[in-house]
Chain A
């Protein structure tokens, strides 16, 4: 952004004192003295470096602290491999489910008016502000041995808690808002005109959705999926409550980080952590690229 210097005041000030005052004021209209500027930038950079950059650098430094061989040995450990596999599986399930839910929810909220809409939006946001531990707890209460469905599940020999379905459910719950949240503003902004045109030209509901709506929101969908995936792979609190920590079976990558760390296997813990940190960094880069596309898409719509 360029600093705009105010246009000279067109009215002639009544006296020299006022003129001098106006000139001084113009100089400081939209910026601060250089000293203040330097201090503010330094504070911002220092704060971000200490609180964000340093921990990130430390993860990689610790992971490679015993050399690159130890790093790969830690990753090739069967426990690590099974955790990576489980994490990928769980993320695939919950991203898939949330993609469908998110599309439907955003479609309904953005394109239709119905009673209870605000309530629904609040509901969708809820997993964002609920503690992940509580998200896990609700599934324990539902499916646990003393839970509401616990008895029925035991009779039918279905294992949800302390198994993959429970982990996938809890992850889905926690990542629920991402796709819907990415799409609602986008779809609202695009309005319903194009869909109405398609329908009036004889397209069916599904045709309209796949041919008109979906191409318009494809970057938004990708954006939502990206954030949803990052959170799904990294979820800790909710998964920790429902997983049961069975080694080699129900440990996801974040859980394995915790276990290894508590066993003082720092290289192994930080090796897994470095994979997750890499995922976060790739997600951020992809997100920046997508945001660029989203902005462009909006510009095209505007003009």
Chain B
């Protein structure tokens, strides 16, 4: 048993350790030079900035979707509930070509938007759209079970004590959902930062403008500049570590706040 487990961790640990060892071959100055080069900085800024913006949109829209799915009855509710998982199940390359064709200048949505003077495909807006697409299920699926399990009596108590509906939502429901909302935000953000397949088709991939960090890694690899690729990967990986750690902490915090049923 112990042996299997060690082997298991080796499968994940060795490749990742290899990545860090490789980056240690660089002197701190070299590492810094790669990271602080204009193109790398811009790629990281595009990835992290747009991923955060997309995660925020997902937080708001995800909450609205969860609320509609859990609290209201409407025709097709079950189908829409199942559809939420599509971005998770659909291969990223398929999502990428579909979103691009949809938002391209002659696409179903691209054409009317172009008439309004909005260009989505092959601009940073396209990256933003793709990141919203892949992030939706993460917010919905983390918040949905918590809202479903929320004790109706708390709301009724708040209401019968004279709180307005708005006050109840802000002061009673929102705090109970906060850990789940933050977890969903973090998961959607982490996924969007690392996303490759669904973004590269629609992005346009213009260096410094619409080039995401994962794509820059691929480009550096194809140029055999392994050290550059590794350095960028290490920065992204460290951020991922921090996010997972925060999510695990959040979940423990949430569990300690809500007494076991």
Interface centre among A101, A122, A284 (most CB of B within 10 A): A284
Residue from A47, A58, A134 in contact with B61 in the complex, judged by beta carbons closer than 8 Å: A47
Query: Is the CB of B159 closer than 8 A to any CB of chain A?
Result: yes
A118 CB to nearest B CB, Å: 7
Query: Is the CB of A201 closer than 8 A to any CB of chain B?
Result: no
A261 to B93, CA, bound (A): 10
A165 CB to nearest B CB, Å: 14
**Does A26 contact B98, Cβ atoms closer than 8 Å?**
no
- Chain A residues positioned under 8 Å from B101 (CB to CB): 58, 62, 266, 270
**Does B5 contact A37, Cβ atoms closer than 8 Å?**
no
- Could you tell me the dominant secondary structure of chain A's interface residues? helix
Residue from A21, A44, A129, A132 in contact with B68 in the complex, judged by beta carbons closer than 8 Å: A44
Interface centre among B76, B91, B215, B233 (most CB of A within 10 A): B91
Query: Is the CB of A48 closer than 8 A to any CB of chain B?
Result: yes
Q: 8 tightest A-B contacts by CB?
A: A234-B91, A131-B194, A236-B197, A29-B159, A237-B196, A138-B15, A55-B98, A44-B68
Given A112-B1, A131-B195, A284-B86: A30 in contact with B159 (beta carbons within 8 A): yes
Query: Quick one: CB contact mask for B140-154 with A, threshold 8 Å, 1 for yes?
Result: 000000001000100
**Does A54 contact B109, Cβ atoms closer than 8 Å?**
yes
**Does A43 contact B93, Cβ atoms closer than 8 Å?**
no
Query: Is the CB of B170 closer than 8 A to any CB of chain A?
Result: no
**Does B16 contact A41, Cβ atoms closer than 8 Å?**
no
**Does A41 contact B74, Cβ atoms closer than 8 Å?**
yes
Residue from B68, B129, B156 in contact with A29 in the complex, judged by beta carbons closer than 8 Å: B156
**Does A58 contact B92, Cβ atoms closer than 8 Å?**
no
- Chain B residues positioned under 8 Å from A93 (CB to CB): none
- Chain B residues positioned under 8 Å from A135 (CB to CB): 15
A123 to B160, CA, bound (A): 47
Q: Tell me how many residues of A have a C-beta within 8 Å of chain B.
A: 93
A-B CB contacts (within 8 Å), total count: 271
A125 to B87, CA, bound (A): 19
**Does B94 contact A59, Cβ atoms closer than 8 Å?**
yes
A266 to B12, CA, bound (A): 38
- Could you tell me the dominant secondary structure of chain B's interface residues? helix
Residue from B83, B159, B196, B217 in contact with A28 in the complex, judged by beta carbons closer than 8 Å: B159
Query: Is the CB of A158 closer than 8 A to any CB of chain B?
Result: no
B61 CB to nearest A CB, Å: 5
A36 CB to nearest B CB, Å: 9
List CB contacts (< 8 Å) of B208-226 with chain A.
213-215, 217-218, 221, 224, 226
A22 to B218, CA, bound (A): 63
Query: Is the CB of B41 closer than 8 A to any CB of chain A?
Result: no
**Does A51 contact B133, Cβ atoms closer than 8 Å?**
yes
Q: Tell me how many residues of B have a C-beta within 8 Å of chain A.
A: 89
Query: Quick one: CB contact mask for B75-97 with A, threshold 8 Å, 1 for yes?
Result: 01000101111110111111111
**Does B64 contact A276, Cβ atoms closer than 8 Å?**
no
Query: Is the CB of B116 closer than 8 A to any CB of chain A?
Result: no
Given A56-B86, A104-B5, A122-B248: A48 in contact with B65 (beta carbons within 8 A): yes
A70 to B255, CA, bound (A): 55
- Chain A residues positioned under 8 Å from B213 (CB to CB): 131
User: Which partner residue on chain B sits nearest A236 by CB separation?
Assistant: B197
Residue from A41, A108, A269, A280 in contact with B89 in the complex, judged by beta carbons closer than 8 Å: A280
Interface residues of A (CB under 8 A from B): 1, 4, 6, 9, 21-22, 25-26, 28-32, 37, 40-41, 43-45, 47-48, 50-56, 58-59, 62, 101, 104-105, 108, 112, 118, 120-127, 129-135, 137-142, 144, 146-148, 173, 176, 227, 230, 233-237, 240-241, 253-255, 257-258, 261, 266, 269-270, 273, 276-277, 279-281, 283-285, 287-288
- Chain A residues positioned under 8 Å from B164 (CB to CB): 28
- Chain B residues positioned under 8 Å from A101 (CB to CB): 8, 11
Cβ contacts A to B, 18 pairs, < 8 Å: A28-B164, A51-B129, A54-B108, A59-B94, A101-B8, A118-B248, A120-B8, A122-B244, A126-B244, A129-B187, A129-B243, A131-B194, A134-B19, A236-B92, A253-B91, A254-B94, A283-B89, A288-B82
